Each structure stands twice: as structure tokens, then as C-alpha cells.
Structure 1
Amino acid sequence: MLNPLKNLLTQFFMPDNGQSTFDEAHGLQLATAVLLVEVMRSDAAVTAAERAATVTALRHKFALSDDELARLLAQAEHTAKSANDYFRFTSAMNDQFTQAQKIQVVEYMWQVAYADGHLDANENHLISKVAGLLHVSHGDYIAAKLYAKEAAQLGKTNPV
């Protein structure tokens, strides 16, 4: 009779390491996806180009299948609508990502911002704020911006 209660308490206080690793990985994926979705939502309209840039960044960062990407993006869009700050997303990244990975997230954000061919002031402000929360130096922030801007220009002049 006490075994079910003991099992419940054990699961609560000492979760399975495999499950917590999965939850942690999914949490980082969701945090990254939410920040990219927030860039899409920060200007007047979400364009197909911004959505494609978001999917490309998530696919590159996490190597997910199309179904996993679709579910992650839907969950990120839902989560972004109810989020009132970015700290819970950036703090997970600060705990788990290397500095290079955090800079890469900022670069992905810039790629989404430049995807529609127009950099909105709200996008610029959002990325600046997130870069600060991720402890990305101003130099790395600018380098990521320039790299994404150059990549966006190359994409327009040399269609593949």
C-alpha cells in the first residue's frame, strides 16, 4: 500500500536522469524556438521568409525531423503568446549553452529579422535585449548582426 506513494515521491524528488536530460534538451529547444518566434512577431507581419528562416535555424541547431520541427514551432508560438519576459528562456541557455552557442542564437535571431528584407526597430530592440540577457558582448552582437545581414544580401543576389 505504501509502495505507490513511495514511487511517486521518488519520481518527484529524484527524477530519472534520462527523462530529466530529455526535458532539459526539449526546454533548450523550446527556449530557442520561442526567441526566434518573438523576432517573427515583433514586426508588423509574420512573413513566409521569416518562418522559413526560423525553421532553417532550428533544423540546423537541433537536427530535428520535419514533424518534430512542426510540433516545436507550434509549441513555441503558443508559449510566446503567453510569455511576459525572456528571462526564463535566456537563463536556461545561460546555464546550458556555451558562449559560442549563445552567440549563434543571436545570429539566428538576426537571420530571422533580415529574412523579410527589412529590419524593424522592434526586432533590433528585441535582439539587443536578448543578447544582453545572454551575456553576449557588444562586439559579438555586432559581428552576428553583420554576418546575418551579409548572408541575407547574398541570398537575394544569388538565388540558389
Structure 2
Amino acid sequence: MLNQIKLFFEQHLMLSAPDESSEEKLQLATVVLFLEMMHMDDKVEPKEQEIILSLIHQNFSLTVEQTTALLALAEQQRIQATDYFQFTSLINKEYSLKQKIGLIEALWKIAFVDGILDMDEEYLVRKIADLLYVPHTAFILAKNRVAG
């Protein structure tokens, strides 16, 4: 099953640009962080799943099949991961500060979608922001934009 998912992912997310693997890895790293945020409060709600699908749609031009494959692979990576560094280091190399702040806003959206900000969710956004070298002011402003 795992090999089928990987094969499907490789076949359907092929881009013509030479940096295709970099783009795919960035998408995967981003979606892993989205899924980790969804699971942070130990309650997976339909609203959280919907917002993640919406964020994937907004950030990446993927078909439904590609999105499904990306989500399956990201969930597997999330479960196997021992830390966030493997994901944040890639994002640090490729994303601008503006893109990193956009990612932090997306994480806040997932955290706030159920109307309750769990302290573990806030901790995760803070940790990811620190790993991405997002200034504390930008972190707070992103939270206020989403919460307000």
C-alpha cells in the first residue's frame, strides 16, 4: 500500500521544472505541519480537515487525486517523524520571510477553526515560528490577524 501511494505521488506530482523534487518536498513538509496542527489537541474535527483542504487548494495547484496522495504521504511522514526539523529546515532554505509568515498564519487558522485555542496548539505554532526564524512580532501579528 505504501509503495502504491509513493508511486502515485511520484507519477502525479511530476513537474516539468528541474527543481520538481524540491517543490514536492516543500508541499509535503508544509502539509505535514498542517496535519500535526490538526492532531495537536487530540481531536480531529471535520472543520480542521476542511480548512487543511482549503489551504492546500490555496497554496498548491493540485488535482483532487494529487491532494489525496499528498495527504496520505504527509500523514505517514507525520506519524514517522521524531521532530519538526526535517520539515522546517527545508522550508527555511526555500521560503522567504513572507512565505514563512503565511505558513504561520495557516497554522493559526487550523488552530482557531474549532473556536478553541488549545495550549498545545499555541505551543506548536510558537515552536514552528521559532524553527522558521519568524520574528516574535510577526508571530503575534499573524495570530491577531487570524483571531480578529
| TM-score category of the 2 structures, normalised to the smaller one | 0.7 to 0.9
The equivalent residue for 2:13 is none
Distance apart, 1:20 and its partner CA: 5.5
The equivalent residue for 2:82 is 84
TM-score normalised by the chain length of structure 2 = 0.86
Q: Which runs of 4+ in 1 moved over 3 A?
A: none
Higher-RCO chain (CA-CA 8 Å, sequence separation at least 6): 2
Match of 1:27 among 2, 25, 31: 25
Equivalences, count: 133
Distance apart, 1:65 and its partner CA: 1.5
Distance apart, 1:122 and its partner CA: 0.7
Distance apart, 1:117 and its partner CA: 1.2
Computed over aligned residues only, the root mean square deviation of the Cα atoms, in angstroms, reads 1.2
Distance apart, 1:19 and its partner CA: 7.3
**Distance (whole Å) between structure 1 residues aligned to residue 139 and residue 95 of structure 2:** 16
**Distance (whole Å) between structure 2 residues aligned to residue 32 and residue 41 of structure 1:** 15
**Distance (whole Å) between structure 1 residues aligned to residue 34 and residue 72 of structure 2:** 12
Distance apart, 1:78 and its partner CA: 1.1
TM-score normalised by the chain length of structure 1 = 0.80
**Distance (whole Å) between structure 2 residues aligned to residue 29 and residue 80 of structure 1:** 13
Distance apart, 1:148 and its partner CA: 1.4
Q: Does 1:54 align with 2:20?
A: no
Amino acid of the residue matched to residue 73 of structure 2? Answer: Q
Match of 1:110 among 98, 108, 128: 108
Match of 1:141 among 139, 142, 146: 139
Q: Which has the greater radius of gyration?
A: 1
Distance apart, 1:38 and its partner CA: 0.4
Distance apart, 1:22 and its partner CA: 1.0
Identity within the alignment, % = 36
- Structure 2 unaligned residues grouped into runs of 5+: 1-15
- Structure 1 unaligned residues grouped into runs of 5+: 1-17, 151-160
The equivalent residue for 1:101 is 99
Q: Deviations over 1:61-117 (max 9, x none)?
A: 112222111111111111101111001101101100111001000100000111111
Q: Does 1:124 align with 2:122?
A: yes
